[in-house]
Structure 1
Amino acid sequence: MRETMNSVLNTDSYDRRRFSQLLEMSDKLKEIEKLGNKYFPSFQPLMGDLWAGLFKMKPELLEGVPAELEMNHQLMEKVMADDGYSDFREFTRLDDFAAALGTTKYSETVLCWVKEQADQNQEMADALQQLMNGEQGASQQAAEALSAALSQNGKTLSRMLSQAAQEAMEAKENVQSLLGGMQAGSGDSELKKVPLKDQLLLAEKLSRDKKLREIAAWAGRMKVIANRKQRSKHKDSTSRNGIRQGKDIEQLLPMELGSYASPISKMDFLRRYAEGQTLQYDTKGHEQLGKGPIVLCLDQSGSMKNQDTISKGFALALMSIARKQRRDFAWIPFSSHASDPIIYERGKMGVQDMIQLATVFLNGGTSFTSPLEKAADVIKRSRFNQADIIFVTDGESRVNGEFLNTWNELREKKGFSVLSLLLGTESIQGVRGFSNRIVKASSFKDESVYQAFEV
């Protein structure tokens, strides 16, 4: 394993070892390192310093560095003095993933700027070439050329660094949108459950794949709506059923709030609250535990092509509900035939699963029987009743009476329900026989679609 040995910052063995590990994890960092090493020999140590400058609690520039590190010292001094650097560090400090994203963007940016200077200035290009050739005195000449370039074009680098920081923050937000849950502020905790190497893989995939970025944006918006729907549903389905001990602030009895307000009893209240012994209303939802899977039958016929990215954002929002409710989530894309169900246990999805979901589109015609048969298989295998099937289509198809008889027998036995979302089609004839409820909508942007998030 490689180890960055030269630094112009107050780094230690842990910093060097950790950056070496990140290099091994990230194909993008290795790609930038390989390219940068063709321009000046201290580029890899510079990458390590860019990482340490973003990650460490108190990074500091060293004085009196060796001549071969003078270019690095100038570049790090420029980066750390930049107006947006301190704000960006609020995002990256002590955060492995954010700091890695920032290092990728900063390293790429600094290298791009150095290449531009060499292309525009022959003296800079000659100095860098002599440095790569190992000629005597080349380090000093390269440092002088860099100093002149920074003096003349440093503002350009500042603008580029600002853009790089923005892209890094957006990259993390996109990853959180794809992998995170519904609740605000839960993104970081959800990310920590995913190996850092997989987080970096997804971030790199996002940087290259516009469609995946669009799916992430829709997933983020849809999850906000899903969370709102779930909170409203929970509030409506909750009633007070006596008194119990606990420390849920929203359910504390008025007398306990009075204890907190009184200087005489406040300390006793705080002790009992910390130990979960304060009195509160015992709230209980009407919904039962142990519900069956959430099954999404998603039309991927040719006519759904223009709604593909938003439909997958919708799927990820439903999956986040499954994760919150600890229910299995089954995804069944269909057109003229249905794919085998992809089952995400308790709504949990890995990075490769995410990439697969984003890239699958079946195209073709429309058949309802095939996805319903697949959904029935999922329900039969589930040890829980009360599954929720969301059937989404913009087309029409016939389901024969023999199948519907079997379907309705299974529904009576397993207690599942079917919500059919009809997008841009008026006729309900095709879905009426197997649906509990039918909702018409012009597209996924129609608010009526969000009724699906009440499962």
Structure 2
Amino acid sequence: MYTELKAQDLNPITAEVSATSKLFWQDYLKSNQAMVEITRETNIRTLNSFALEVFHRLYYSPDPEWLPEKPEHQWARVLHNQLSESEEFQNLTMTCSGDPLGAAIAAQSMITNLHRQLKDASGDQEIDELDTLRAEARKAKRDSDEELFQQLQAQGQAMSEAAQAFAQKLEDQEGEGIGESVEDAEGEVQEKKDELEALGISWGNESGDRNPTPTGEKLKLAALIEENPQLKKILDLAGNALETANRKRRQHQAETGYGELVGITTGNDVSQILPQELGRLSDSRQKLSFYRDFLEGQLFQNDLQAPEEKGKGPMVICLDCSGSMKERISRDLWSKALIVALVKLANEQDRVVSVIRFESVCYEPIEIHPKEDIDQLIRLLITSPTNGGTKFQAPLEKARDIIEQDADYSEADIVFITDGIAPLSSMFLQEYSESLEKLKTNLFLLEIEPEWGWSNDLRDLASQAWVIDAEGNFEELGAVFTAC
């Protein structure tokens, strides 16, 4: 049974693989132990070599250049042929072509599904140890050990027949599981794309992208997200919140008028797609590529600018990390999801953001530029201070100090995220209200599942306040992101 994989020893078994593909796949394996673990559950020790070939086909070239075939590798050739005949796989290659991150994630997803099928079909038979037997037989021949030679020949013949029977069994299944594996892979790629983009990281390194994140770093982030279920939930909630915000924004545009035509851009706004793009739907040869471009937001459409739209200022976010926020997992998840969504929104609008974590004590601010400080944001999401009490005055004063003392935060908004109540004196409330007016600063209050019947002095300070329940109150969230 194969139990260990050294990435540098990977070699193709069925199809030629480019040096670039091999380097990218090795980088992926180094940052993704889960892919290596798959081979420990099967007796096919060359499964990761097959995965490398699938990655190469997705990333570099869908049409393989075949290597000389060996009996022990016929199973891989059968699966390659089934992939070539799969329309779903052809579509997936179009999605992943030239995209090492998407191709790696898709390859892992496919192999994860297919290895179960391979394990069931192969049983307990070792089917790819023939190279070792061949070498031992040659040595026995040189040593004139005829008895051992005959024994190894017999073992090799039995193993060769088992390998061919295994390949035939896969061929008789006629691609069973291939289509489902490919569809799952496409969904996995889209999920990972959404997760990274929720962090403010573009999926590809597009031209004009400021400080693009290296592919290797994206691979590590994708692996980290996969290994951390809570982080996945946070990013999923953040994605839903951003989707709601964008829907509200489009609704606002529809109500106020789209504005002035300033040129042509790319996107998937059905109301603004150019007529020649819609014409592709009537051509069966272009229909699939139209749907792909629609999903990726790459259709040509009118670029309309609403003249009344104004850029907003910086944000100082105060995040409650007290014990009560941890008592309900939904409070913790939603508070951090809102952080991700607000930081992503600020990044899109070139706004600076500082996050102040507080409980019974107030911690030093964390300034976050998503593309430069992604590690800061990840640490914020997966770690928390100790479970202390709650005091509001210190974080409010710290937020005010930042706005007063740092020119980059002039006229910033304060976003205060909490679940409860802490006492504030009437003198402080009066003095702080005057400070907000003088600094031209809004205080936005987001209450995450607050306890019923609690009064909240912060509501008297807030320009606007919202209550977010366990289900997210998505319509309320749309208003939050319109205001902040």
TM range (shorter): 0.7 to 0.9
- Which amino acid is the alignment partner of residue 400 of structure 1? S
- CA gap of 1:282–1:104, structure 2 versus 1, over 3 A, is closer
In the alignment, which residue of structure 2 is the partner of 1:203? Answer: 222
In the alignment, which residue of structure 2 is the partner of 1:59? Answer: 63
* TM-fit CA distance, 1:77: 2.9
298-307 vs 436-445, which deviates more?
Answer: 436-445
In the alignment, which residue of structure 2 is the partner of 1:106? Answer: 110
* TM-fit CA distance, 1:98: 0.9
In the alignment, which residue of structure 1 is the partner of 2:323? Answer: 302
8 Å contact 1:368–1:399 — kept in the other structure?
yes
- Which amino acid is the alignment partner of residue 353 of structure 2? F
Q: Deviations over 1:332-353 (max 9, x none)?
A: 33332333222113x5465533
In the alignment, which residue of structure 2 is the partner of 1:452? Answer: 480
For normalisation by structure 1, the TM-score amounts to 0.74
- CA gap of 1:361–1:283, structure 2 versus 1, over 3 A, is closer
- CA gap of 1:248–1:43, structure 2 versus 1, over 3 A, is closer
In the alignment, which residue of structure 2 is the partner of 1:257? Answer: none
- CA gap of 1:390–1:376, structure 2 versus 1, over 3 A, is same
- Which amino acid is the alignment partner of residue 390 of structure 1? V
Q: Secondary structure at the match of 1:330?
A: strand
In the alignment, which residue of structure 2 is the partner of 1:229? Answer: 248
Q: Secondary structure at the match of 2:420?
A: coil
Whole-Å separation in 2 of the counterparts to 1:282 and 1:155: 58
- Which amino acid is the alignment partner of residue 192 of structure 2? V
8 Å contact 2:244–2:478 — kept in the other structure?
yes
Whole-Å separation in 1 of the counterparts to 2:250 and 2:168: 56
Unpaired stretches in structure 2, ≥5 consecutive residues = 1-6, 138-152, 266-302
8 Å contact 1:418–1:435 — kept in the other structure?
yes
In the alignment, which residue of structure 2 is the partner of 1:284? Answer: 307
Q: Deviations over 1:91-137 (max 9, x none)?
A: 3232211111122233444545444445x34xx23x44565555546
Unpaired stretches in structure 1, ≥5 consecutive residues = 250-279
- Which amino acid is the alignment partner of residue 465 of structure 2? I
In the alignment, which residue of structure 2 is the partner of 1:76? Answer: 80
Residues 1:356 and 2:360 are matched in the alignment:
no
| 1:1-20 matched pairs, under 5 angstroms | 2=8, 6-20=12-26
Residues 1:212 and 2:231 are matched in the alignment:
yes
In the alignment, which residue of structure 2 is the partner of 1:439? Answer: 466
Residues 1:327 and 2:351 are matched in the alignment:
yes
8 Å contact 1:10–1:59 — kept in the other structure?
no
Whole-Å separation in 2 of the counterparts to 1:223 and 1:190: 21
Whole-Å separation in 2 of the counterparts to 1:282 and 1:71: 56
Whole-Å separation in 1 of the counterparts to 2:174 and 2:407: 57
Q: Secondary structure at the match of 1:326?
A: coil
- CA gap of 1:219–1:142, structure 2 versus 1, over 3 A, is farther
In the alignment, which residue of structure 2 is the partner of 1:410? Answer: 435
- CA gap of 1:357–1:177, structure 2 versus 1, over 3 A, is farther
- Which amino acid is the alignment partner of residue 315 of structure 1? I
- CA gap of 1:174–1:451, structure 2 versus 1, over 3 A, is same
8 Å contact 1:300–1:334 — kept in the other structure?
yes
Whole-Å separation in 2 of the counterparts to 1:303 and 1:190: 42
8 Å contact 1:418–1:434 — kept in the other structure?
yes
- CA gap of 1:319–1:233, structure 2 versus 1, over 3 A, is farther
In the alignment, which residue of structure 1 is the partner of 2:279? Answer: none
- Which amino acid is the alignment partner of residue 295 of structure 1? V
* TM-fit CA distance, 1:322: 0.4
* TM-fit CA distance, 1:327: 0.5
Of 400, 419, 443, the residue aligned with 1:394 is 419
Whole-Å separation in 2 of the counterparts to 1:224 and 1:389: 23
Whole-Å separation in 1 of the counterparts to 2:32 and 2:101: 11
- CA gap of 1:132–1:419, structure 2 versus 1, over 3 A, is same
- Which amino acid is the alignment partner of residue 9 of structure 1? A
Whole-Å separation in 1 of the counterparts to 2:401 and 2:172: 62
In the alignment, which residue of structure 2 is the partner of 1:90? Answer: 94
In the alignment, which residue of structure 2 is the partner of 1:276? Answer: none
- Which amino acid is the alignment partner of residue 379 of structure 1? I
Question: Once the two structures are aligned, what percentage of the paired residues are identical?
Answer: 21
* TM-fit CA distance, 1:165: 3.8
**What is the RMSD computed on CA atoms of the aligned residues?**
4.1
Q: Secondary structure at the match of 1:247?
A: strand
Whole-Å separation in 2 of the counterparts to 1:142 and 1:151: 14
* Count of matched residue pairs: 412
- Which amino acid is the alignment partner of residue 201 of structure 1? K
- CA gap of 1:414–1:46, structure 2 versus 1, over 3 A, is same
For normalisation by structure 2, the TM-score amounts to 0.70
| 1:329-348 matched pairs, under 5 angstroms | 329-345=353-369, 347-348=370-371
- Which amino acid is the alignment partner of residue 448 of structure 1? E
8 Å contact 1:47–1:103 — kept in the other structure?
yes
Whole-Å separation in 2 of the counterparts to 1:440 and 1:28: 39
Of 360, 365, 383, the residue aligned with 2:389 is 365
8 Å contact 1:214–1:309 — kept in the other structure?
yes
Q: Secondary structure at the match of 1:284?
A: coil
8 Å contact 1:295–1:375 — kept in the other structure?
yes
Q: Deviations over 1:275-321 (max 9, x none)?
A: xxxxx99963364x5x5421222323333333222332222221122
Of 41, 50, 54, the residue aligned with 2:54 is 50
In the alignment, which residue of structure 1 is the partner of 2:457? Answer: 430
8 Å contact 2:71–2:163 — kept in the other structure?
no
58-67 vs 408-417, which deviates more?
Answer: 58-67
Whole-Å separation in 2 of the counterparts to 1:14 and 1:281: 41
